[in-house]
Amino acid sequence: MQPSVRAGLRERGFLAGHTHPAHLQGKVIALEEHFWIPELSVGGNYPAEWARRLLDLNTLRLEEMDAAGIDIQVISHGPSKLQNLDAASATDLARRANDILQQAVLAHPDRFSAFALLPTPDPQAAANELERCVTKNGFKGAMIHGTTHGEFIDRKRFWPIFERAEALDVPIYIHPGATHPAVAEAYYTDYPAMASAGWGFNVETATHAIRLILSGVLDQYPKLRIIIGHMGEGLPFSLWRCDALLTRDSDLKKRFREYFRENFFITTSGNFSVPALLCSIMEVGADKILFSIDWPYADNVEGKTFLDNAPISADDRCKILSSNAATLLRL
């Protein structure tokens, strides 16, 4: 970091000496931490250790949380085949996954909370399942993984989900799903690794976020909160340009940047980069950043150490590790 940049950040309160994280108040809350049920697991060359962790909702998960100093996981089902199933099968399996997760939360109420898995092939059933999980099970929102049968969820047929989320006052977490086959074929055939977490997942989820803003859903439901991971999927870095050009070329009621700053939260999941964190704080503010690991795809200790040592103020560190999530999710 250039000295002039560091000085500017310190003047604005982003850098603050070497305050030790042990002095911070509040519990450490991680928001993008996964499990799965075998019926919905996706194929692919998954390491056996990932699969073992995804199936664990007890001892191993807690041991690894304790080793990193993580007090609470908000658990969600990992990427699955649910959103490409028929409506009836998706509805049945979403309920089953959510009920299994609920039992884990009941067994460890001081350590686990949850986001619901939604059967998006039937948007009305998805809205109803969100309401069931929030009102009866105490879930804190929902996570949606990518497209549904190739459709982005900005389409109006999916808006009942957002209407219900606003009414329930819970966020929707948009998580990467598999890159659309047509996109993968056109862009990534020569380098298949690009289609996944290193690039394609970011592009797909950032596209989802942009489409949600351009669709008008946030004008229809202005109190809706959307979460995206991986330090905003690159959008904080591109926010000036998105604001300048997408605002100019659309019929938005507000500027693009306003929607992103007001309605979106971003997490640190799987992107443990100090420059990316500082960019995000400067663009959206520390109040809109939430601590996450992306367990088991990323390591608890690495993610927590990154935040502990990041050159940010003690107040901002406490917000990101604890109080932002506690406020947003009413933990």
Known catalytic residues are 294
H/E stretch holding 25: none
CA distance 54 to 258: 37
Angle between helices 59-68 and 300-309 (to 10 degrees): 20
**Tokens found for residue 107:** 């067994």
Do residues 288 and 265 lie in contact, with contact meaning Cβ atoms separated by under 8 Å? yes
Token pair of 57 as six digits = 């909702």
Distances (CA, A) of 190 to 38, 80, 150, 289: 31, 25, 22, 35
Element spanning 320, H or E:
none
Q: How many CB atoms sit inside 10 A of residue 111's CB?
A: 18
Q: Nearest-CA neighbor of 144 among 185, 173, 112?
A: 173
**Alpha carbons 101 and 105: distance in angstroms, whole number:** 6
Residues 79, 146 contacting (CB under 8 angstroms):
yes
Contact call for residues 31 and 74 (beta carbons, < 8 A): yes
Is the Cβ–Cβ distance between 15 and 311 less than 8 Å? yes
DSSP states of 115-183? -EE--TTSHHHHHHHHHHHHHHH----EEEES-BTTB-TTSGGGHHHHHHHHHHT--EEEE--PPPHHH
